[in-house]
Structure 1
Amino acid sequence: MQHDHGLTITSQPPSGRIRILAVAGDLDHHTSPRLHEALDELGLAPGDGLVIEMSGLRFCDSTGISVLVSAHQRAQDAGAGLALAGLSPDIEHPFKIMGLTRLLSFHDSVDKAVAALQ
């Protein structure tokens, strides 16, 4: 578990080739480098998947959104899948406004996100 300025990142047990990161707290200019680093450490390979569980996220600014878009791109480049799970309507709203719901995969729960990546 990593904790930095109100952001907690917890790696949960994988489901097959799908890894799960739970992100809670505030994802902003100060904390997004911590998530970026955690994502870099995963080393995704073709056929892998990553679910970022965000039900505990209280705040996400444009810097946090940029890290998630970058994670999507890196997953695609690696031949892996990425899904976001458990976003509250308030957190998901900016993604909708920016049209990112067409780029990123959003799911109500980790189970649904894992199923979508399998």
Structure 2
Amino acid sequence: MDRQTVGSAHRGRLRVEVRQDGESAVVTPVGELDHHTADLLREPLETCLGQGTSRLVVDCSRLEFCDSTGLNVLLGARLKAEAAGGGVHLAGMLPVVARVFEITGAEAVFTVHPTLEDALAD
């Protein structure tokens, strides 16, 4: 763990790292987000929201795969974050992951940034 990482979880194909950056929680899923690994992302997102951080930045630059279950985790977090006055920002999506958001139309309900730096500066 690097100095700024405040937590992480790992189960097989997915690891999730969480750190604070100012008013934002930066959540970085690494690997494959699917039916079997979705709770590894859901739990830290809900923990951040439960602790009062309503601006979540999901760094997708190391997310190699996302299925509909993973998409639903992010959509659920978005609803909860917006209800708390914040939002979910997605950053650095690889083309294979971005395609899922394009096909489903989910990209229209998220704030999507080309890089993590852009998301944090917004």
Q: Tell whether the structures are fold-level matches, with TM greater than 0.5.
A: yes
Give the Å deviation of 1:76: 0.4
Runs of 4+ in 1 over 4 A off after TM superposition: none
Call closer, same or farther: CA 1:60–1:25 in 2, change over 3 Å: same
- Answer yes or no: is the 8 Å Cα contact 2:18–2:44 preserved in 1: no
Residue identity matched to 2:10: H
Which of residues 48, 56, 71 in structure 2 aligns to 1:50? 56
Structure 2, unmatched stretches of 5+, are 1-7
Q: Does 1:35 align with 2:41?
A: yes
How many residues of Structure 1 are paired with residues of Structure 2 in the alignment?
114
Cα RMSD for the two superposed structures: 1.4
- Answer yes or no: is the 8 Å Cα contact 2:16–2:27 preserved in 1: yes
Residue identity matched to 2:80: R
Q: Does 1:86 align with 2:92?
A: yes
* Structure 2 length-normalised TM: 0.87
Counterpart of 1:4 in structure 2 is: 11
- Answer yes or no: is the 8 Å Cα contact 2:91–2:115 preserved in 1: yes
Counterpart of 2:3 in structure 1 is: none
Structure 1, unmatched stretches of 5+, are none
Specify which structure has the bigger relative contact order, considering alpha-carbon pairs within 8 angstroms and separated by 6 or more residues.
1
